[in-house]
Amino acid sequence: MPLSNRIETAMGAALASTLADTAPARLTSALTYATQPGGARIRPTILLSVALACGDDRPELSDAAAAALELMHCASLVHDDLPCFDDADLRRGKPSVHKAYSEPLAVLTGDSLIILAIETVARTAALDPARASDMLLTLTRCTGAPYGICAGQGWESEPQIDLSAYHKAKTAALFVAATQMGAISAGHDPEPWYDLGALIGEAFQVADDLRDALLDETTLGKPVEQDHLHGRPNAVALLGVKGAYERLSDILAGAIASIPSCPGEAALAEVVRLKAKSIMPKMPAGHRA
């Protein structure tokens, strides 16, 4: 089964567990709305790719972990879109949850998806209590405080930002969860898989900085300068557009080099290369060497 089918099937099964005759229908509808159709499902794809590279001997575990990770990611998007954060009217080409439903339902949708994500992993304890428990503690560490995505978002309310801690928590944490939960689901030690997740996360961050900077160039019609970059240091501000592209290539080479020795090492390197290509913004003509 292609990975995308595995992910959608596992997410569908998780969401089905929130339905009941005596459930509030608008909330359960919002849970589906917030998660389908998805974006690139890049985190669960990496998770399953790592699981496969490690032998994937218990696909029920890796499927549940993949669904849980994507549900958690969707929860973070719903809350990030709220008026008190990004105040985003649109998400994945349709109205954001608070626009389509209401702000109360958006808060509850995020909360419910967090709990559903956890529940989805917790249910696998019946199959393998040790792996389930390790996957759960990885998921909570990568999502809560002090090191997870909640902490990452929390840095934006600080008077002084620790940029390294901020990027690690806000962007890299869920990729670390992807590589480590993938390894655990297949009975492998998660420790050697930390670097791959952290480096993919860093690559995402630099790619985002590049996209923002190039968008500013296009929409503002001006070349990128430090003061256009929302006043916050980032890869483009520090290294320029060309330098940021070089940095991105270096990080991705490091990510591939960091893949621990495992049965599916070569195939996984290919997946990382393909995903890297898909996130790399096209370099504008003016910046080519």
Q: At its nearest, how many Å lie between its own copies and the CB of residue 242? A: 31
Closer by beta carbon to its own copies, 64 or else 114: 114
Closer by beta carbon to its own copies, 18 or else 249: 18
Closer by beta carbon to its own copies, 1 or else 20: 20
Cα–Cα–Cα angle for 170, 172, 176, rounded to 5 degrees: 130
Radius of gyration of the chain (CA): 19
Closer by beta carbon to its own copies, 150 or else 239: 150
Q: At its nearest, how many Å lie between its own copies and the CB of residue 94? A: 19
Measure the CA–CA gap between 190 and 198, rounded to whole angstroms.
13
Closer by beta carbon to its own copies, 66 or else 173: 173
Q: At its nearest, how many Å lie between its own copies and the CB of residue 201? A: 16
Q: At its nearest, how many Å lie between its own copies and the CB of residue 57? A: 19
Q: Which of 213, 210, 206 is nearest to 252 (CA)?
A: 206
Q: Which of 195, 157, 190, 151 is nearest to 169 (CA)?
A: 151
Query: Which tokens in the block code for residue 62?
Result: 């890796």
Residue ranges of E strands in 42-178: 90-91, 94-95
Q: What is the DSSP letter of 95?
A: E
- Report DSSP letters for 154-201, one per residue: HGGGSSS--HHHHHIIIIIHHHHHHHHHHHHHTT--SGGGHHHHHHHH
Closer by beta carbon to its own copies, 42 or else 75: 75
Q: At its nearest, how many Å lie between its own copies and the CB of residue 125? A: 4
Contacts (Cβ under 8 Å, ≥6 apart) of 245: 210, 283, 287
Q: Give me the residues that bind its own copies (CB under 8 A), please.
A: 18-20, 22-28, 31, 75, 79, 82, 84-85, 101-105, 107-108, 110-112, 114-116, 118-119, 122-123, 125-126, 129-130, 132-133, 136-137, 140-141, 143-148, 150-151, 153-158, 162, 164-165
Q: At its nearest, how many Å lie between its own copies and the CB of residue 39? A: 21
